[in-house]
Amino acid sequence: MTRSYRFISEHRAVFGVTRLCRVLGVRRPGFYEWLAAVPTRTERAEADERLAAEITEVHAGHRGAYGRPRIVVALRRRGRRVNHKRVGRVMRERGVVGLTRRRRRSLTTPDVVAAPVPDLIGRDFTAPAPGQRLVGDITYLPTREGWLYLATVIDLHNREVIGHAMADHMRAELVRDALDLTVQCGLTSDDAIFHADRGTQYTSALFRSALAGHGIRLSVGRTGSCFDCETGGCHQAA
């Protein structure tokens, strides 16, 4: 109906309202009511554009994390009297969505049957020289094709990532590949220590065998806590 009214409005000077209404099958009173409401609709559209600009500013100012509820709160703090339904409509029409912050989940599954491994670090996350003390961890990254897992090897001497591997799984091969890359690059020293948590990947026979083949001793800490952020741990460096 709106499309017909708009067509009549654009061509009425040539064909006349009566003829166009008859051809298009609409009522003249309805057209004139629609025409009378044009200023109101224009004003509403302009107000929506101003609101959209503020929404976009708030959204961008919080790195895209804010959805409708928090944007409404932010606008009201600015003194804007807004309705949450209107904010939601304006956001939908312009494709503005808030990012969902997923709660970080632990990737560490302890192996209760694995042979005991000593803690050779003792929460001393320092190293006097490069290649002597290494730590490893696995993190996950969301992609459009699913989760991608990243294993890293970090040198405690300078907190640098010196080895890594990525895969669509988090089996022991992932951490072994990260270790192999580190060794191939010549970034380990004699009698080095590799410290990790008690996850099954790091206590697996495959990873232990890889460490032994490279002459590196395994050290483990608490489950899910191979890094100590309070003492300058490596999550921040990664």
- Give me the mean pLDDT over the 40-61 stretch: 89
For residue 224, name the pLDDT band (cuts at 50, 70, 90).
very low
Task: Answer whether residue 43 shows pLDDT above 70.
Answer: yes
Confidence (pLDDT) at 103: 52
- 102 or 193: which carries more pLDDT confidence? 193
Q: What is the dihedral of CA 95, 98, 99, 102, to 10 degrees?
A: -140
Question: What are the sequence ranges of the domains in the chain?
Answer: 2-94, 133-231
pTM over 0.75: no
Confidence (pLDDT) at 226: 42
- Give me the mean pLDDT over the 99-123 stretch: 63
Confidence (pLDDT) at 162: 95
Mean pLDDT of the chain: 83
For residue 192, name the pLDDT band (cuts at 50, 70, 90).
very high
For residue 116, name the pLDDT band (cuts at 50, 70, 90).
confident
Confidence (pLDDT) at 114: 55
pLDDT in tens, 120-179: 988 888 999 999 999 998 888 877 777 889 999 999 999 999 999 999 888 999 999 999
Superfamily of domain 133-231: Ribonuclease H-like superfamily/Ribonuclease H (3.30.420.10)
